[in-house]
Amino acid sequence: MAVHTATPANPPDQQPDPVHVTDRVGSGSDPFDAGRDPMGGRPRPPVGLYLHIPFCVSLCPYCDFVVVTGHAARGPGSRIEAFVGALHAELTLRADALDAIDGIGGPDRTALRSVYLGGGTPSLLTAAQVAGLLDHIADRFGIALDAEVTLEANPGPTERGDIAGFRAAGVTRLSIGAQSMDPAELRRLGRRHDPVDVRAAIAEARAAGIRSVSVDLLMDVPGQTLASWDATLHAVASLEPDHVSTYQLTLDDPDAEGLTTVEGDHLPVRAGARRWRRRAAAEQDQDRAAAMDARADRVLDAVGLARYELSNRARPGHASRHNLAYWRREPVEAVGPGAHAFDGVTRRWNAARLDRYLAALVPPDDGSPSLPPGGTEVIDDPTVRAETAILGLRLADGIDAAFGEDPRLGPGLAWGMAHELVARRADRLVLTPRGRLLSNEVFARLLP
């Protein structure tokens, strides 16, 4: 889903770019440097922090995120306040744990470069709640002065929240879950807003002085045509966002993948959503999706939104710093139900169920909070290499050509080149336009 103080001293394009899109993955003498732990197998301090806010007013049938809806999200039965208390408790416990690690704990730790409030619909929080969380994070983790602080927002008038208040709290980037600018498509997707709300949300963000505004769009959705996609692209381009994400609608089945167990990081799919997904899948068309992706390049390139990652385009200086950390395999801390963290060695996740999350962190009868249930996975060296190559190929700049000589990765990359899905550009390997559409075919051949 979607991402949010005073007018910057310089217009965004003239501000120093904190993230150089052309920074390379695996450059230097050893192409695997970016995927290796430079601290010799020890955890590294996080460069970013993700907070998962699981509340939405209603559930979109295609949604795979950890979300709770209805009375829990607003009104007298709202659990948001209790949840924010639990988030504070988890932040304290995670910071304590980090402080206790020899070599990276304590006040000398580098301040976070990014904080990301995702969901769900984080804009359902009050500005005071967001300010409280950011103050706590600044106190325990540190937030760099030029940090990117993103808040996802739904555009509807009762969902986009207090954008000026978020800006005053420290939000610098707003990610707006527009998905489409076609009213009929929005209704079919179960969205609660109209195109006019997207325009209003962007106008409010600009008026509040939000530095960077991003818009999420979905392609290959039920009832969508090339013409309606074209109209959506032109409507969004005319609003002059700084960043646009174009995601192909994915209809994976987290139940079938075994992700919805009690310790899992997903919630079970409801019966109605399952029926909706079956109908939507029947309407999807790979060739039309390819044509839509090419249209997005044409329309968005023309207004200066250059593709820097498979699904993401930005004006100079507006690439998502937080997401770049994931694609570069940098350590990111995470809190909230279903949230995933990585410390450079181990991947950790919280279980998805809100009740269990609250029971651990705000136990009854004033018990002591404990870390929520979840799981961990240590990443072995072959997986590090594969992840480094796969994530690097997602970026427009690709990976060092020397990856092609790696005994494990070379055959898969050679297969991609033979099928014109991967191409060599000087000393880099990049996905071709066809390779971007069939990237999973390449990635599957790189996994150990």
Options 56, 125, 201, 413; binder of ligand SF4; rule CB under 6 A? 56
The minimum distance between CB 325 and ligand SF4, in angstroms, equals 21
Q: Kindly state the smallest distance separating residue 194's Cβ from ligand SF4, in Å.
A: 15
**Binders of ligand SF4 in range 341-400 (CB under 6 A):** none
Query: Does residue number 67 form part of the binding site for ligand SF4 (CB under 6 A)?
Result: yes
Judged by CB under 6 A, the chain residues 90 through 119 that form the site for ligand SF4 are 119
Within positions 140 to 159, which residues make up the interface with ligand SF4, using CB under 6 A? 154
Shortest separation between residue 320's beta carbon and ligand SF4, angstroms: 17
Exactly one of 18, 36, 37, 59 binds ligand SF4 (CB under 6 A); that residue is 59
Give the one residue of 25, 53, 60, 296 binding ligand SF4; rule: CB under 6 A: 60
Map the chain to HEC letters.
CCCCCCCCCCCHHHCCCCCCCCCCECCCCCCCHHHCCCCCCCCCCCCEEEEEECECCCCCCCCCCCCECHHHCCCCCCCHHHHHHHHHHHHHHHHHHHHCCCCCCCCCCCCEEEEEEEECCHHHCCHHHHHHHHHHHHHHCCEEEEEEEEEEECCCCCCCCCHHHHHHHCCCEEEEEEECCCHHHHHHCCCCCCHHHHHHHHHHHHHHCCCEEEEEEEECCCCCCHHHHHHHHHHHHHCCCCEEEEEECCCCCCCCCCCCCCCCCCCCCCHHHHHHHHHHHHHCCHHHHHHHHHHHHHHHHCCCCEEEECCEEECCCCCCHHHHHHHCCCCEEEECCCCEEECCCEEEEECCCHHHHHHHHCCHHHCCCCCCCEEEEECCHHHHHHHHHHHHHHECCCEEHHHHHCCCCHHHHHHHHHCCCEEEECCEEEECHHHHHCHHHHHHCCCC
Residue from 48, 93, 116, 121 binding ligand SF4 (CB under 6 A): 121
The residue among 175 and 212 lying less far from ligand SF4, judged by its C-beta, is: 175
Taking CB under 6 A as the rule, which mask of x and - marks residues 167-206 in contact with ligand SF4?
A: ----------x-----------------------------
Q: Candidates 55-63, 252-260, 352-360, 363-371 — which segment interacts with ligand SF4 by CB under 6 A?
A: 55-63
The residue ranges that bind ligand SF4 (CB under 6 A) are 1, 56, 59-60, 63, 65, 67, 119-121, 154, 177
